[in-house]
Structure 1
Amino acid sequence: MDPRRSAQEVLLCDLCETVPLQIHCGVCNINLCKACVGEHLSDSSKQHNIMPYLQRKSTPNYPKCPHHANEDCKHHCEKCDIPVCITCISSGKHKGHELVEFLEKVRAKTQNLQNDLEELEIRIYPRYEEMASNVQTEKAKIETNYGILTTAAEQEGEILHREITAIVNQRKSDIQEMKNKHLSTLNKNTDEITQKITELKQIISDLNSILESNDVSLTSTYKSRNSEFRTLPPKVRVTLPDFTPQKINTGQLREMFGSLSPLSINREHGDTLKSAEAVSSPPFKPLLDNPRLTATIDTGYGELRSVRCLSEDQVWTHGADNTMKLLDLQSKLLTSIKTKSGNAPHDIEVTRDGDLVYTDDSNKTVNLVKNKQIHTVITLQKGWGPFRQSWLPLSVCCTASNELLVAMTSDDVKQSKVVRYSGSTAKQTIQFDDQGSALYSYFDYIIYICENRNLDICVTDYGGRVVVVVNQSGKLRFRYNGHPSNIKQSFDPRGITTDSQSHILIADYWNDRIHILDQDGQFLRYIKCDLRAPWGLCVDISDNLFVAEEFTAKVKKIQYL
């Protein structure tokens, strides 16, 4: 029990902790008895505000400044992302920075906290409960289903009497082993889901505690974990074995008795719940009959390859050298970053946090640029021995769940695949269709990838002159190999991107145009706008299209919706 509280919950002085409190200091946010007031006022470093306890007002618990011990941080520097006191501001260290009141910052973060809590309680947590319930239902059916198999084996055994008792027992043993594996797998899946549920309960409890508390320091330091739980645990799909009786042949009893199909246990990639922002459908925006050019950016490259939007008026670009440039719509260079290896990147991407990512096929790495510092997040191992394949990272895209999809090709350019990464951990590999055939041909070192709003994964397969679209589980949805109307050359897909309407936009390099498809692969129309050798594509938050032209080294901004 708090030592300042009696059995009757009498609040005691914060200093002596023995006498009931009567006085409150509004500056120090401390409660005192009359006898301790003099001792408190002896600290002349502050202008105390003494008042009867019942007349006190709610006083914000501002964080103390780490640089100025007697100062409270009543402002927040947006650029430095830290709380600051009035002395910090007066020192000039934050000159020109945007400053907001600390309580206003806390109020905004409290709203985010409320939104996270609502999403956890209403959308995410019930899905985990539903998954746990489904697993329990499936477990309840195991005895019945496996009992049927066991009975079938016993009936077949009775026909053959003593001569096949050993075989019957063997089959029963096989069934039991499969059953145990089945149960073990489901129990493991239950444990995973239960663990997540426990974590969610704790987070929800913590969030409620923070919201009920007056300690704004806790609220200001809160970090959301909702994105972690939007990706649900893997679903377990088990194909029950069948018992297939055979006609009795006493000379081949063991072979003819019947067989069990193998126990098939697959862990499917868990569905990713859309964030609260993505749940609501975007407003409908029809295609313009005549798209129009709204801006042109001269990048200064000899050859331009990729463009990625940081905002509506700032884009990252890269060409055939080792420098990546951040430019505005007036072609002004804002920042430039050189690759760690000194070689040209193969592709670039901007994360949901606004950080730059680039792939470097020369040293088989995927790298994150944060505050101008380069951090290698993925390194593909070099192959060794005659049977181990080595892979080169080509294109990269950031998903709605803030994971990375990396398209890669083998060193011998005979195999291609897409790998999903959470941080540096590979979570999913997409390489073959349901028949075991390769989804992608060789990429010939030109490949781009993006995720659609419906979580489909869209890849331009340059080697096959086709666009391949699979769903988030890696199942083939469709292939698009161009439209026959008004084409000068064969379909030559390079850059690819999607917009808020789930349109798929594809750069057709030799035909100097952009193809627009709907999310199901139906051709809608072209964008031409006097384009010349379009290579890289991206769309900003307002659905403006940015096109990187290779030889003119220009980025063209086009309004098409």
Structure 2
Amino acid sequence: MYHYGSLLPEFCTSTGSWTMELRRRAKDVLQCHLCESPDPPMYCDICQTHLCKPCVGEHISDESKKHKVGVFKKQEKQGSRAKYRKCSPNEHEAETSIIESQRQVIEKDLQELEKCILPRYQVMASNFPIQKEELQKNSQKLKNAIDKRRENLNLILTTIYLRLKFNLRKMDAIILGALNRQEEENNKAISGITTNIENMKKILNSNDERLFSTYISKNSEFKNVPPMLNISLPKFTHHQIEEELFEEFGSLSSFKFSYRVDSPWAESSLQYRPLIKEPRVIKQMDTEYGDTNLLHTLSCLSSHNDEDTRIWTCGDDDKLRLYDLRGELVKSVPTKSGNRPWDVAVTKSGDLLYTDYKEKTVNIVKNSQIQTVVRLPRAWEPVALCVSSTGDLLALLDCDDKDETKVVRYAGSSEIQSIQYNSIDGEPLYPYTACHTHICENRNLDICVSNCGSGTVVVVNQAGKLRFTYTGTPSTIEEPYMTWFNPYGIATDSHSRILVADCSSRNHPYRIHILDPDGQFLRFIDNCQLQGQMSLSVDKNDNLYVAEWESGKIKKIKYC
């Protein structure tokens, strides 16, 4: 119930005069032309109609005439009536127009789609052909095993043989169908994102107020990226013939589907971090390294809280050292053999891996206990390593006897992939130079290898096919020298940018090259007083850590 007594003027003593007063006051209250809401803040100059904000879009959607909508402001009351006038431009210089406010929303959405969401779908799209190829290879391998087994048995086993082949085809069909369905859904999402990007660019390139006012963000439809289908492929196993022929012939293990969200697609990757104008050192740590004990390698033990990040290091002695961001030594672990470690990496669970060049082993440190993970054949030696997004170990191996270099992928202690030759011309991908080399996996699953001896950065995709070779920017080619690009440490960040330490100072200061995922040069970091040969590591928050070999210093650099 509303009490109107306070509204009654002293002279309104009769019912008739009170009714007339209410009608007069109703006329004083402006209403939205469409929904009749009181005190509408907007006004169309062309149509001379008052509008509330929710009705602006509907009003300007009438394309039969032009519209010019502005803000109206209520004047001070004069007598008993409220007067309205259109606001002057100067009174609203500080207010954001509809177009400008919507422009900011669209530009933010566009940047999120182009820089963060679309690349995640593109990584998934690039992985489908690889999975299909693995499925085909595995299927062929199983068929060969089944055929070989069949040749050793009598024709009585034909029925069992045909049954197994049928089951295999059925499994292949189910797996391939699942892959095709997810691939189709992924392609639809990419198509939808691309169309959305084009529409947003069209809006941004126009001054059509209707388009800006009616824009509705669709980014939420694409943010929930479906997890990647992970297939545990069937295996063929056989047994000695004893009693039942069917069991002794062998059987196919069952396959299973599982989905994973790998670290490259963590939620932090949705935070787009453009390169800043002036990179800067935000922290510098002194260590025990330097002079006769050079600081060769570092690897971040990342934390979501920057201050909790730890850094594993190794140098010329037999110690593996863990430092905090104050430069204080947290832990020191001697190697198992007493040899100097050649490279270090941190597993997804936070354990430390290191290479022993002389013992030809890769070892893991768990709770200060050291176990050998991989022992290499006599001719091969591990020189660099990293941990992939799937938890596999990627090791860069040298063979002194044959002057060869290759990349090998290990699942636990088992070799599952070897990358050595260019699939197009058969030439070695990695020149053997007996110089320092480094390896890392990019966010898009590419494998990046730097070689200071050949002056190259070689990047292959997950299947081992060459994507590009980077040999430095044109500015590094100066007469009378052919090139002085001297890459040492290498790392990648959450946006698949590649960072390479250039340790040649003949014609320029020590610096770091930043490349895009396709090997295009973006910029240098050359203003941070970097010194000598450097190893690089990037944490979860895209902070760059630089280990200077000779000074023994670790620099934390903000570059994006």
Give the TM-score taking structure 2 as reference length.
0.52
TM-aligned CA distance change 1:191 to 1:547, over 3 Å: same
User: What letter is aligned with 1:462?
Assistant: C
Deviation track 1:380-429 (CA, whole Å, cap 9, x = no partner) reads 021xxxxxxx1111111000000000000102361110000000000000
* Alpha-carbon contact 1:413-1:444 (below 8 Å) kept: no
Aligned to 1:485: 475
TM-aligned CA distance change 1:233 to 1:193, over 3 Å: farther
- Local SS of the residue matching 1:230: strand
Using the TM superposition, give the Cα deviation of residue 462 of structure 1 relative to its aligned residue in structure 2, in angstroms. Answer: 2.6
* Alpha-carbon contact 2:499-2:515 (below 8 Å) kept: yes
Counterpart mapping for 1:83-122 below 5 A: none
Using the TM superposition, give the Cα deviation of residue 433 of structure 1 relative to its aligned residue in structure 2, in angstroms. Answer: 0.9
Counterpart mapping for 1:496-515 below 5 A: 496-511=490-505, 512-515=510-513
User: What letter is aligned with 1:290?
Assistant: E
User: What letter is aligned with 1:304?
Assistant: L
Aligned to 2:279: 291
Aligned to 2:262: 275
Matched, 1:411 2:395: no
Picking from 289, 298, 319, the partner of 1:307 is 298
Counterpart mapping for 1:345-424 below 5 A: 345-382=341-378, 390-412=379-401, 414-424=403-413
Identity of aligned residues (%): 44
User: What letter is aligned with 2:301?
Assistant: L
Picking from 306, 314, 319, the partner of 1:318 is 314
Aligned to 2:326: 330
Matched, 1:540 2:539: yes
- Local SS of the residue matching 2:265: helix
* Alpha-carbon contact 2:501-2:535 (below 8 Å) kept: yes
TM-aligned CA distance change 1:531 to 1:424, over 3 Å: same
* Alpha-carbon contact 2:228-2:259 (below 8 Å) kept: no
Using the TM superposition, give the Cα deviation of residue 558 of structure 1 relative to its aligned residue in structure 2, in angstroms. Answer: 0.2
Picking from 516, 520, 523, the partner of 1:522 is 520
Aligned to 2:154: none
* Alpha-carbon contact 1:359-1:395 (below 8 Å) kept: yes
Aligned to 1:205: none
TM-aligned CA distance change 1:476 to 1:276, over 3 Å: closer
* Alpha-carbon contact 1:192-1:233 (below 8 Å) kept: no
Aligned to 2:440: 450
User: What letter is aligned with 2:486?
Assistant: D
Using the TM superposition, give the Cα deviation of residue 463 of structure 1 relative to its aligned residue in structure 2, in angstroms. Answer: 2.7
* Alpha-carbon contact 1:413-1:443 (below 8 Å) kept: no
Matched, 1:343 2:339: yes
Deviation track 1:28-79 (CA, whole Å, cap 9, x = no partner) reads xxxxxxxxxxxxxxxxxxxxxxxxxxxxxxxxxxxxxxxxxxxxxxxxxxxx
Distance 2:366 2:469 in 1: 36
TM-aligned CA distance change 1:413 to 1:498, over 3 Å: farther
* Alpha-carbon contact 2:487-2:503 (below 8 Å) kept: yes
Deviation track 1:357-384 (CA, whole Å, cap 9, x = no partner) reads 00111000000001011010000021xx
Distance 2:355 2:285 in 1: 24
TM-aligned CA distance change 1:418 to 1:331, over 3 Å: same
Aligned to 2:461: 471
* Alpha-carbon contact 2:263-2:389 (below 8 Å) kept: no
What value does the CA root-mean-square deviation take over the aligned residues?
Answer: 3.8
Asked which structure has the greater RCO (Cα within 8 Å, sep 6+), the reply is 2
User: What letter is aligned with 2:541?
Assistant: S
Distance 2:550 2:337 in 1: 25
* Alpha-carbon contact 1:282-1:501 (below 8 Å) kept: no
Using the TM superposition, give the Cα deviation of residue 535 of structure 1 relative to its aligned residue in structure 2, in angstroms. Answer: 1.8
Aligned to 1:429: 418
Deviation track 1:533-557 (CA, whole Å, cap 9, x = no partner) reads 1421000111000001011011110
Using the TM superposition, give the Cα deviation of residue 321 of structure 1 relative to its aligned residue in structure 2, in angstroms. Answer: 1.1
Aligned residues: 321
* Alpha-carbon contact 2:443-2:492 (below 8 Å) kept: yes
Picking from 477, 488, 498, the partner of 1:494 is 488
- Local SS of the residue matching 2:270: coil
Using the TM superposition, give the Cα deviation of residue 522 of structure 1 relative to its aligned residue in structure 2, in angstroms. Answer: 0.1
* Alpha-carbon contact 1:494-1:536 (below 8 Å) kept: yes
- Local SS of the residue matching 1:485: helix
Distance 1:498 1:276 in 2: 13
TM-aligned CA distance change 1:283 to 1:344, over 3 Å: same
TM-aligned CA distance change 1:184 to 1:299, over 3 Å: farther
Query: Does 488-497 or 551-560 show the bigger shift?
Result: 488-497
User: What letter is aligned with 1:519?
Assistant: P
Distance 1:534 1:185 in 2: 57
Distance 1:427 1:228 in 2: 20
Unaligned runs of 5+ residues in structure 2 are 1-123, 141-160, 178-226, 236-256
Using the TM superposition, give the Cα deviation of residue 277 of structure 1 relative to its aligned residue in structure 2, in angstroms. Answer: 7.2
User: What letter is aligned with 2:332?
Assistant: S
TM-aligned CA distance change 1:190 to 1:448, over 3 Å: farther
Distance 2:132 2:258 in 1: 11
- Local SS of the residue matching 1:362: coil
TM-aligned CA distance change 1:490 to 1:335, over 3 Å: same
Deviation track 1:338-357 (CA, whole Å, cap 9, x = no partner) reads 11111111100011111100
Aligned to 1:441: 431
Deviation track 1:140-196 (CA, whole Å, cap 9, x = no partner) reads xxxxxxxxxxxxxxxxxxxxxxxxxxxxxxxxxxxxxxxxx9x99997586689799
User: What letter is aligned with 2:522?
Assistant: L
User: What letter is aligned with 1:493?
Assistant: P
Aligned to 1:97: none
Q: Which has the larger radius of gyration?
A: 2
User: What letter is aligned with 1:409?
Assistant: D
Unaligned runs of 5+ residues in structure 1 are 1-122, 140-180, 198-226, 236-269, 383-389
Aligned to 1:230: 230
